[in-house]
Chain A
Amino acid sequence: MDAHAVTLDHVSTGIPSQKLGMWVFLASEVMFFTGLIAAYVVLRMSHPGWPGPEGHLSKSLGGLNTFILLCSSATMVLAFAQAQRPTAKPGAGWGYLGWTILLGVAFLGIKAYEYSTKLSHGIAPGTNVFWSCYYTLTGFHALHVLGGVVANTWLFLRALQGRIHPASAYKLELAGLYWHFVDIVWLFLFPLLYLL
């Protein structure tokens, strides 16, 4: 029986404490982003003509970033699947984890390009309410992506050192839960800001 299974057996909820803690944290994050998105929706519904032609965002860049995050979610879950196999060698899953980090960095790179393009045209958070919402929603989301990249990089380095093995693969699961949550938030931000 591995260390993860031992933890599972010793909690009354049937869920390892670390995982339960992550879900409680994610519930607070759901509250945070749902609140922001709800504020945006309420503002938008009260201004039918909003954001107008000046609120143009590149669908192709937004779509590319969505695709990148979907790919990164797949590589993240594959890293966990590889690392948790009972026969997995120490450090298994580092390749997929590396791809997840690269894809996260690519997402941030494209977001930085979008920001710099808008700012160079004089479109800043204070331009109007739409752009305030845009920078707030995507800025907080990008900070969360950055946090995920840092956590994944820490796990990647541990995996390279052979310190991730089936008994400690739950750490990949926890990082994965966070990463997939960040992906889900973007799945709503992309249509709300770029498509509708």
Chain B
Amino acid sequence: MSDAHVSPAKYLWIWVWLAALMLLSVLVSELALPKRTIVLGVLMLSTIKAMLVGLYYMHLRFDRRWLTFLALFPVLLIVLAVGVVSSSQLVRL
């Protein structure tokens, strides 16, 4: 089965990392840094947390690689759509 490679201890370690990264996100958001840096830092931490959940708790690390593409393809579509909207001369945001 798909999680044959993951022990319960590893699941708990992932949980510790997730909790620590969450705390780090809150701390970073409080720092006196430029807004752009804070946004980048906090969203990067969120992406790392999402990757940990996806790879280990959803077993994507041990499943067929194309399942990851299946899940991420809609994100790509939305990013493209937002890119087109943002760069369009016809749309004034």
Contact = CB atoms under 8 A, between A and B. Distances in A.
Say whether A and B bind each other. yes
B52 to A, nearest CB: 10
Contact of A27 (B8, B43, B56, B71): B71
Given A38-B81, A187-B50, A14 B71 contact: no
A59 B30 CA distance: 11
Contacts, number: 116
Contacts of A34: 74-75, 78
B58 A191 contact: no
Contact of B64 (A14, A78, A196): A14
A106 interface: no
B53 A183 contact: yes
Contacts of B45: 191
Interface string A34-76: 1100100110011000000000000100010011001101101
Contact of B38 (A28, A184, A196): A196
Chain B, interface residues (CB within 8 Å), range? 35 or more
A15 B46 contact: no
Interface of A: 4-5, 13-15, 23-24, 26-28, 30-31, 34-35, 38, 41-42, 45-46, 59, 63, 66-67, 70-71, 73-74, 76-78, 80-82, 84, 169-170, 173, 176-177, 180-181, 183-184, 187-188, 190-191, 195-196
Contacts of A177: 58
B64 A180 contact: no
14 contacts: A23-B70, A34-B74, A38-B79, A38-B82, A41-B82, A70-B15, A70-B18, A73-B15, A77-B56, A84-B1, A180-B57, A184-B54, A190-B25, A191-B29
A178 to B, nearest CB: 10
Interface of B is mostly: helix
B25 A195 contact: yes
Contacts of B93: 42, 45-46
B11 A77 contact: yes
Contacts of A183: 53, 57
A71 B12 CA distance: 10
Interface in B40-93: 42-43, 45-46, 49-50, 53-54, 56-59, 63-64, 67, 70-75, 77-79, 81-82, 85-86, 93
Contact of A81 (B11, B25, B42, B63): B11
A66 B2 CA distance: 26
